[in-house]
Amino acid sequence: MTNPHKGRTGIDRVIRATGYSINGLTDAYRGESAFRQEFWLAAVLLPLALWLGHGWVETALLMGTVMLVLIVELLNSGIEAAIDRVSFELHDLSRRAKDLASAAVFLSLLLCAGVWSAALWQRLLA
């Protein structure tokens, strides 16, 4: 069986893919409190990165770690939605998949906090 959505090409594919992405961001914002919190934190930190970073590399690193948190949170939400779509039954593999995705979010937050702490230390205390 052929997927009817896979035959799209050119600008039609780009327009539809953009719409799907906007839908995903909207769904995440409306349905995931963690994503909302991280979104608003990003709204503060991304402009702050322009002040804090010394040069484009530091600024890109600061912004990149913030964006990475949002990206990993979206992937975590997608994994959780797929698991819940299959079954709400408690199962060790479902728990494991959700815990691994949560751990990825945790590590991205640690990375972000570490990079930002080092940059703040350099800018304010050194």
Terminal C-alpha separation, the chain:
63
58 is catalytic: no
The one catalytic residue in 32, 38, 58, 73 is 73
Distinct helix (H) and strand (E) counts, the chain? 4, 0
> d(Cα 124, Cα 89) in Å, to the nearest integer?
50
Residues assigned a catalytic role: 73
